[in-house]
């Protein structure tokens, strides 16, 4: 049974990192499309797909979402309110040099990893740059990609959430994180979207409107 939706302060996170594989593209697409335009943090996605498909996914999501959605490019600055999808067969990371704005790094290295883009590589990089302000989300997929990266997120004080078993096409990646004791909550995609929405300034107003019995 999925856990209750956790609540976080709006300034708790400075980045959202999402890892997904089999069965993930449609779910990720729906989650991003349901987020508001005022998201004050970047969202980085490692989705296991071949190159052309990650590019097509970015184009489709950009049309459907109030946020800007792009396929990540090496050297690209990381801006709030933008969604970066890692290109297929490449690893996507975020790096930061001194006081400069974080930037995207896209590379084939390390070449020996089975999955490209690697969720582990993305999560590890986010933990190094954003430390305790990372919200990592591990979604449907085979294997255990994301578990090592999720470990780094938790070790630096960030939060990791996993997709619930019943809502997964393949309950592999989330289960691996849960068995390692890294998941703070197991949620369906709509509940995961609602957690991300908490980061936006519009969330409090939205929540107040939903409160039963609240006078106009």
Catalytic residue check, 91 = no
Residue found by looking up tokens 């936006």 in the block: 200
Entry field: residues in the chain: 216
The DSSP-derived string for the chain is -PPPPP---TTS-SEEEEEE-TTHHHHHHHHHHTS-TT--S-EEEEE---HHHHHHHHHHHHHH-SSEEEE--TTPBP-TTEEEEPPTTSEEEEE--TTSPPEEEEE--STT-SSSS-HHHHHHHHHHHHGGGEEEEE-SBSS-TTHHHHHHHHHTT-EEEEE-GGG-SSBSHHHHHHHTT--S-EE-HHHHHHHHHTTSTHHHHHHHHHSTT---
Of the residues 21, 118, 167, 191, which is catalytic?
Answer: 21
- Catalytic, 21? Answer yes
Beta bridge partners of 85: 45, 71
Task: Write down the catalytic residue from 145, 183, 191, 200.
Answer: 145
Q: Which of 48, 91, 133, 144 is catalytic?
A: 48
Please enumerate in sequence order all residues whose Cβ is within 8 A of that of 124, keeping only pairs 6 or more positions apart, or say none.
93, 148, 149, 152
Residue 191 annotated to the active site = no
Which residues are designated catalytic? 21, 48, 145
């Amino acid at each position: 049974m999925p856990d209750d939706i956790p609540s976080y302060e709006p300034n708790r996170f400075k980045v959202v990192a999402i890892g997904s594989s089999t069965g993930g593209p449609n779910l990720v697409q729906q989650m991003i499309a349901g987020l508001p335009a005022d998201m004050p943090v970047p969202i980085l996605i490692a989705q296991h797909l071949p190159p052309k498909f990650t590019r097509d996914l970015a184009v489709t999501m950009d049309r459907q979402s109030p946020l800007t959605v792009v396929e990540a490019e090496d050297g690209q600055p990381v801006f709030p309110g933008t969604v970066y999808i890692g290109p297929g067969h490449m690893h996507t990371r975020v790096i930061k040099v001194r006081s400069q704005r974080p930037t995207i790094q896209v590379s084939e290295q390390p070449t020996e990893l089975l999955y490209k883009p690697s969720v582990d590589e993305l999560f590890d990089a986010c933990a190094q740059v954003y430390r305790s302000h990372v919200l990592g989300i591990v979604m449907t997929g085979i294997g255990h990609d994301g578990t090592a990266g999720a470990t780094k997120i938790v070790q630096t004080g960030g939060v990791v959430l996993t997709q619930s078993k019943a809502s997964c096409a393949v309950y592999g990646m989330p289960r691996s994180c849960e068995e390692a004791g890294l998941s703070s909550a197991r949620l369906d995609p709509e509940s995961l979207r609602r957690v991300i929405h908490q980061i936006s300034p519009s969330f409090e107003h939205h929540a107040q409107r939903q409160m039963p019995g609240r006078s106009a």
